[in-house]
A and B are shown apart, each in its own frame.
Chain A
């Protein structure tokens, strides 16, 4: 499984766009990039997944450059309720388990 590196914490304000970048230099050809969100005392929740270029859903966008060695989760116009820990995971279809890193603790202020 590819190792991921992401900032330990980030702060932002309501209404701002937040971008969280994850490095995964050893990503393999068949690896997908998945982001999860976890609120305190709750299980992680799937946010978005991508393989290359850009993916967008109703919650976030995921930008993946051509070399796929990093990815950026973009949260548009955040609110206080976006305060959570965000995990970046990289694994391929051959992996039978997901290993979570330390995640990024995002704090949104009024």
Chain B
């Protein structure tokens, strides 16, 4: 158990629908990062929050949005889902907002299947 909790583990939904993925960071970590990993592809950085504020944006579609709440958990909202959105979505956390030299802790991911 890495300490980063992601729910749900699996999600199957239809095209056009909207889903919410949830992430609870490791205790003491203030930053949350979201990544998307499609089948046999690398990890694509989506967005980062630090202590409730957006800090960095990657290749996140306009149909996707995220937020971090006062208790530091984060939610990734995916709307108007398309078949190509099927992927593993990972959340990672770290103590600082600019902590690439300390490493990230990843959760076990949410597998989203759009049918």
A→B interface (CB under 8 Å): 32, 34, 41-46, 49, 87, 89, 91-103
How many whole Å from B31's CB to the nearest CB in chain A?
A: 8
Contact A95 B42 (CB under 8 A): no
Contacts A96-B48, A96-B56, A100-B43 given; indicate if A41 touches B101 (C-beta within 8 A): no
Chain A residues with Cβ below 8 Å from B97 are 96
Knowing that A43-B4, A43-B107 are A-B contacts, what are 8 other residue pairs whose CB atoms are under 8 Å apart, sorted by A's residue number?
Answer: A42-B109, A43-B106, A44-B92, A89-B100, A92-B101, A93-B99, A93-B101, A96-B100
How many whole Å from B58's CB to the nearest CB in chain A?
A: 6
How many whole Å from B108's CB to the nearest CB in chain A?
A: 6
Q: What are the interface flags for B86-105 relative to A under an 8 Å C-beta threshold, 1 for contact and 0 otherwise?
A: 00101010000111111111
Q: For the complex, give the distance between the alpha carbons of A32 and B102 in Å.
A: 9
Q: For the complex, give the distance between the alpha carbons of A92 and B90 in Å.
A: 22
How many whole Å from A20's CB to the nearest CB in chain B?
A: 16
Chain B residues with Cβ below 8 Å from A87 are 43
Q: For the complex, give the distance between the alpha carbons of A44 and B109 in Å.
A: 10
Chain A residues with Cβ below 8 Å from B90 are 43-44
Supply 21 A–B pairs (Cβ within 8 Å), ascending by A. A34-B100, A43-B92, A43-B106, A43-B108, A43-B109, A44-B92, A44-B104, A46-B103, A89-B100, A91-B100, A92-B100, A93-B98, A93-B101, A96-B97, A97-B45, A97-B48, A97-B56, A97-B100, A98-B104, A100-B35, A100-B43
